């Protein structure tokens, strides 16, 4: 029963639509009606600028971290990585935003931060190195996911290997249109790095 309860809580936490809240309260804009229509940090950066994008990205990371850590607060005998998966599902398909959310990247990172902060640091480093090289946020996100799985295998943590593989599969699936645009050379590149 604990898993069901914490999975529901994690899903609800993950469903908090940071991009929608920041856009509506701070700018009177529904970012779903602009840019890619996505609720994540990348679209927020494009539509509302660096400050809003940073707030949304950090908020989305914290959703994963908080959701994964909640069972610790109750000393519950559950695997917090499994609980964290439901926060990512909530982020992708939020009940508070008609089930149209982000692309799983930041919230997945937040789940890893809750369990392996050093691995989260490796993820950040990988992401920004790839972003510097490619200028594609989507490609950087996918490569970061793959590197995270490889690092999990090196660490030999079976639970981490399984969960990072699932989260990376989410990231790749949610970026399938981006992958097509990269192949067609129509995917927008960042201009600030």
For residue 150, what are the contacts with CB-CB under 8 A and spacing of at least 6?
A: none
Calculate ∠ Cα 114-115-118, nearest 5°.
Answer: 95
- Whether the pLDDT of residue 1 is over 70: the answer is no
Residue range 9-50, pLDDT digits in tens: 999 999 999 999 999 999 999 999 998 888 899 999 989 999
Distances (CA, A) of 121 to 74, 113, 125, 156: 27, 8, 6, 18
Contacts 24+ apart (CB under 8 A), 184-192: 187/136, 187/138, 187/139, 188/46, 189/134, 189/135, 189/136, 190/131, 190/135, 190/136, 190/137, 191/135, 192/50
Tell me the whole-structure pTM to 2 decimals: 0.94
- Whether the pLDDT of residue 163 is over 70: the answer is yes
* Residue 117 neighbours by CB distance under 10 Å: 10
Residue range 75-124, pLDDT digits in tens: 899 999 999 999 999 999 999 999 999 999 999 999 999 999 999 999 99
């Amino acid at each position: 029963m604990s898993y069901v309860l914490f999975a529901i809580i994690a899903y609800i936490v993950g469903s908090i639509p940071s991009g929608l809240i920041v856009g509506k309260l701070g700018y009177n804009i529904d970012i779903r009606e602009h840019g890619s229509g996505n609720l994540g940090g990348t679209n927020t950066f494009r539509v509302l600028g660096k400050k809003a994008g940073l707030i949304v990205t950090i908020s989305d990371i914290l959703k994963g971290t908080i959701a994964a850590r909640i069972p610790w607060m109750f000393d519950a005998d559950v695997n917090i990585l499994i609980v964290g998966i439901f926060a990512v599902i909530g982020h992708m398909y939020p009940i508070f935003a008609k089930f149209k959310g982000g692309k799983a990247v930041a919230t997945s990172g937040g789940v890893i931060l809750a369990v392996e902060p050093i691995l989260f640091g490796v993820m950040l480093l990988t992401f920004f190195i790839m972003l510097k090289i490619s200028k594609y946020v989507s490609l950087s996100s996918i490569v970061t996911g793959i590197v995270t799985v490889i690092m999990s295998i090196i660490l030999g943590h079976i639970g981490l290997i399984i969960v990072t593989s699932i989260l990376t599969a989410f990231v790749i699936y949610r970026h399938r249109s981006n992958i097509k645009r990269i192949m067609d050379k129509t995917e927008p590149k960042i201009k600030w790095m």
